[in-house]
């Protein structure tokens, strides 16, 4: 049995309605990785410490840019280069 844990910042978006999204993701993983049917289990967990997760920090910056938040203060904290892809 292969167990896959999905870490997410907002748990409400991952499972979908009645767990349908997790079922779809499980089916996709099984097909793409050539696992036998029923040998993969997907679980979702909330990211415990958001400050230590690079993807969470990237998502935060992304939504700040979309919202128009001034980002000039980042230079004060030692950020020299920022690559933004929207």
In a domain, residue 63? The reply is yes
Q: Which CATH number belongs to the domain containing residue 72 in this structure?
A: 3.30.300.20
In a domain, residue 39? The reply is yes
In a domain, residue 82? The reply is no
Look at residues 7, 79, 17 and name the one whose alpha carbon lies nearest to residue 46: 7
Per-residue pLDDT tens digits of the chain, which is 86 residues long = 888 888 777 766 666 666 677 888 888 889 898 889 888 888 888 777 766 777 777 777 777 777 766 555 555 555 555 555 55
Domain limits for position 10:
2-77
Q: Please state the length of the chain.
A: 86
The Cα–Cα gap between 44 and 4 comes to 9
Query: 59: which 2 tokens?
Result: 């998502």
In the chain, how many domains are there? 1
In a domain, residue 6? The reply is yes
The Cα–Cα gap between 64 and 34 comes to 39
**Cα dihedral sign, 73-78-82-86:** negative
């Amino acid at each position: 049995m292969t167990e896959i844990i999905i870490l997410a910042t907002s748990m409400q978006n991952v499972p979908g309605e009645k767990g349908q999204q997790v079922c779809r993701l499980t089916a996709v993983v099984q097909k793409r990785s050539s696992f036998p049917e029923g040998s993969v289990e997907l679980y979702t967990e909330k990211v415990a410490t958001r400050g230590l997760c690079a993807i969470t920090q990237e998502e935060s910056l992304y939504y700040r840019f979309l919202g128009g938040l001034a980002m000039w203060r980042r230079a004060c904290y030692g950020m020299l280069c920022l690559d933004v892809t929207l």
